[in-house]
Amino acid sequence: MKHSKITISKDYQIAKVDDRIFGSFIEHLGRAVYGGIYEPGHPAADENGFRRDVLQLIRDIDVPIVRYPGGNFVSGYRWEDGVGPVESRPRRLELAWATTESNTFGTNEFLRWCKQAHTEAMMAVNLGTRGADDARNLVEYCNHPGGTYYSDLRRSHGAEQPHGIKLWCLGNEMDGDWQMGHKTATEYGRAANEASKLMKWVDPSIETVLCGSSNSGMPSFGDWEATTLDLCYDKIDYVSLHQYYGCSDGDVKNFLARSVDLDNYIKTVVCVCDYIKGKRHTGKKINLSVDEWNVWFHSNGAKFEKWSEAPHILEDVYDFADALVVGLMLITLLKNCDRVKVACLAQLVNVIAPIMTENGGKAWAQTIYWPYLHASRYGRGTALQTLLETTKHDTRDYCDVGDVDALAVWSEEDETVTLFAVNRDFEEENLVSLNLKDFPGYVPAEHISMAGFDLHAVNTKDAAPVQPKTTPLPAVERPVQEFSLAPLSWNVIRLKKKA
């Protein structure tokens, strides 16, 4: 058995966790919308065509914000196609994913769905094939109360009250040549500056997100952020990061260390933001929106019919190893919550998603659903500097990777401390000593864990063996508590203040 030591103190805080760090993403891609959240005629559909079974799985997670409508899709999207009478909406060739878009679901349907899902919208505008004019019109359509062309158009479409969308993405992955309307950093920095300026003139209460790099391996990474930020620093509020990890080489040990890359990526973007802050002699701080993150590789190479509607694409079936990586990525986001204010697990339903559905049939939780749900439900509060002494190992791409990774969140309001921890060791249990001297009266309550599964075990519509197990813990007060983490395990250890 290995040992780790963790010390936490109320005085050593990272930051209050912004709830939006537990956000997600729905794109017009594959079956995320059609057959995912929206399927008129499904036995579980409500009067709007929203699947109630899917809504319930989403409400259980308590998703605070959902990014929409893309993704690569947004870079060719005409938002006007998706509003007004459904029968007169155009069918379009959707070039990002080579499918046909029916536009039977659009902005007002999405906002209506958000209410049912108990979530907020994070809206993206098209800065690929379109620009500042269409972006500011969409803000007027969504957020202006009335008395102007676009606000009255919204009212005529049955949405009397403004939607009040607060967070807006200035395009998507504009650094990538796969993107419709791909731009150089200078072209994009100028376009984003003007779009954000006009959008904020329409509604000064909104916040905007600049597109950072599409992943940490982009050749332009670093320069892209510095150049674009310098061109629009005063006009934007966040810079985005996107990152997916895969394990197509089967090296799970190395895969489990990928969260080290995410940590480096986040810290580098923080440095670039602060470099531009210093260079511009401004007090304004830019925070981070990790608005696409997940594991993505299982579905690579899957075929579908070109120009078909809502095909089965990017339908990764996640295994237990993926759930551990998602847990590690969540711990990494929380560790950096002084600067990461928004994050979106990409995506939410069917497309690289925690929730899967069958057209006309069941909805179920994939393996990665569980760490996401745990983090969202129990990770709200103040993230604490979690001093961790643990044994280390090397992997193919990383040195000195902790056998255990962990982060504690203290909710002063609920009087709880939650320790999220992953044991990366394939064979050995890890006995964690948690120093609680600064938390008198806090006693263990329960240990939720996922462990003991085959690394390739998956959940399907017929069988969902990969589930968390909850073990009640004896409520005995001790200055140092000991918890055992099984080999290859995701752990949520909950402590509560005695009444």
Q: Contact at 8 Å (CB) between 4 and 432?
A: yes
Q: Which residues pair with 449 in a beta bridge?
A: 469, 491
Of 169 and 407, which CB lies nearer to ligand AHR in the complex structure? 169
Which residues are CB-contacts of 187 (< 8 A; sequence separation ≥ 6)? none
Question: Where is 155: in which H helix or E strand?
Answer: helix 149-156
How far is residue 257's CA from residue 395's CA, in Å, rounded to a whole number? 7
Residue with the shortest CB distance to ligand AHR: 71
Does residue 173 have an active-site annotation? yes
Q: Can you list the alpha helix ranges (DSSP code H) found in 280-368?
A: 320-335
Q: Tell me the chain's radius of gyration from C-alpha atoms.
A: 23
The residue (of 171 and 444) whose beta carbon lies closer to ligand AHR is 171
- From the list 94, 101, 173, 225, the catalytic residue is 173
30: phi > 0 → left, psi -120 to 50 → alpha, else beta; which? left
Work out whether strand 480-485 and strand 430-435 pair parallel, antiparallel, or are unpaired: antiparallel
Decide if 292 is catalytic. Answer: yes
Residue tagged active-site, from 292, 309, 427, 482: 292
Minimum CB distance to ligand AHR, residue 397 (Å): 22
d(CA 68, CA 64): 13
**Least gap, CB of 3 to ligand AHR (angstroms):** 40
Task: Considering the complex, state which of residue 130 and residue 424 has its C-beta at the smaller distance from ligand AHR.
Answer: 130
Contacts of 376 (CB under 8 A, 6+ apart): 22, 61, 62, 63, 64
Interface residue list for ligand AHR (CB under 6 A): 27, 70-72, 172-173, 214, 242, 292, 346-347
Q: Which is nearer to ligand AHR, 14 or 343 (CB)?
A: 343
CB 346, min distance to ligand AHR, A:
4
- What are the C-alpha distances in Å from 225 to residues 127, 172, 185, 293, 382? 17, 14, 8, 18, 29
Task: State the nearest-atom distance from the C-beta of 173 to ligand AHR, in Å.
Answer: 5
Minimum distance, C-beta of residue 353 to ligand AHR, in the bound complex (Å): 10
Cβ proximity to ligand AHR: between 57 and 346 the closer is 346
217 by DSSP, 3-state: which? coil
| Residue 207 burial (CB count, 10 A) | 17
Pick between residue 265 and residue 490 the one whose CB is nearest to ligand AHR.
265
Reading the block at residue 471, the tokens are: 């073990």
Least distance from ligand AHR to the Cβ atom of residue 369, Å: 17
The residues that are catalytic are 173, 292
